[in-house]
Amino acid sequence: MNFVKLVKNPKPYFQEAIRKSTNLWHTYFNTGELVHCEICEWDGARFYNGKCPKCNSLPRTRLVPFSLRHFGLVKKNLTILHIAPNRNEYNYVKNNFEHIKQYDRLNIRPVPHINLVQDITNTNLINGSYDLVIVWHVLEHIVEDRKAAAEIYRILKPGGSLLMSVPIYPIGSPKTYEDSSIKYENYEKIHGHDDHCRSCGLDYYKRFEEVGFKTKTLNNYTLKDLDKFGLSKNHVVWCFNS
């Protein structure tokens, strides 16, 4: 442990220590097979405040493996582009697709586990590069999301798939709301998050149809799946085909 850093900035270390010991307690005592985390393969009696005690995944992240399976997207020899994945999403895709031909992870910033530092609204990737693009709770942060949709359509192979989810705010809202005159400092008050530039509604998929995609929707989960995999009934996933 770096004690100089610890003395200068103790909070993150203590928070991390508390998180690790709490998780240890839960993985030790919270045993059983009632719930299953598909991200880290942990089985237990329950998720803790929605989080997996072993890998800390959230319901929305555990929805990635569930929807990949639901839409039949887990195949061999794919070329995959994952836009701004978190660590758990990245580990899942890396470890659960057989013989990935190419797995690119793109982010506008050079964060860990990223190999392409590019802007998804304007990349230098060639036409028809990918079989599958995954973009999970990212587009609500991107002002020019229609440009991003067109760019994804361009770099997907004909017949390729885009798996996409955004938070619906407020929960169940039928209509997307955005106003370019809203200032950044007011995003949290209006869109419920300090970096969300719009409130996505259940009609958000239409922006992808405007650029040529065809849509399939996942939003009707069984109670058994919600409980078993620790999902949220409020989440919606769209699978688009080019």
Shortest distance in whole angstroms from residue 29 CB to Zn ion: 16
State which residue, 52 or 83, has the beta carbon closest to Zn ion. Answer: 52
State which residue, 47 or 103, has the beta carbon closest to Zn ion. Answer: 47
d(CA 211, CA 154): 10
State which residue, 93 or 162, has the beta carbon closest to Zn ion. Answer: 93
> 3-state SS string over 195-222?
CCCCECCCCCCHHHHHCCCEEEEECCCC
How many chain residues are in contact with Zn ion, going by CB under 5 A? 8
**Cβ partners under 8 Å of residue 39, min gap 6:** 52, 55, 57, 61, 62, 64, 65, 88, 91, 92
Which single residue is written with the structure tokens 């089985």? 43
**Cβ partners under 8 Å of residue 14, min gap 6:** none
Q: Judged by CB under 5 A, which of 13, 27, 40, 233 binds Zn ion?
A: 40
**Cβ partners under 8 Å of residue 207, min gap 6:** 145, 146, 149, 176
Q: Among residue numbers 121 through 180, which ones bind Zn ion (CB under 5 A)? A: none
Shortest distance in whole angstroms from residue 35 CB to Zn ion: 10
Shortest distance in whole angstroms from residue 33 CB to Zn ion: 14
Q: In this structure, what DSSP letter does residue 169 have?
A: S
**Cβ partners under 8 Å of residue 158, min gap 6:** 128, 242
Shortest distance in whole angstroms from residue 38 CB to Zn ion: 8
Site string for Zn ion, 50-89 (x = CB under 5 A): --x-xx-x--------------------------------
State which residue, 61 or 176, has the beta carbon closest to Zn ion. Answer: 61
Q: Among residue numbers 18 through 37, which ones bind Zn ion (CB under 5 A)? A: 37
State which residue, 48 or 177, has the beta carbon closest to Zn ion. Answer: 48
Shortest distance in whole angstroms from residue 154 CB to Zn ion: 35
State which residue, 87 or 207, has the beta carbon closest to Zn ion. Answer: 87
Shortest distance in whole angstroms from residue 114 CB to Zn ion: 22
Which single residue is written with the structure tokens 């991107």? 142
Shortest distance in whole angstroms from residue 88 CB to Zn ion: 7
Q: Which stretch binds Zn ion (CB under 5 A): 14-22, 47-55, 117-125, 226-234?
A: 47-55
Decide the pairing of beta strands 43-44 and 35-36: antiparallel
Where are the extended beta strands (E) located within 90-149? 102-107, 116-117, 130-136
Among the listed residues 198, 201, 233, 199, the one whose alpha carbon sits nearest the alpha carbon of residue 218:
233
Q: Which residues here bind Zn ion, judged by CB under 5 A?
A: 37, 39-40, 42, 52, 54-55, 57
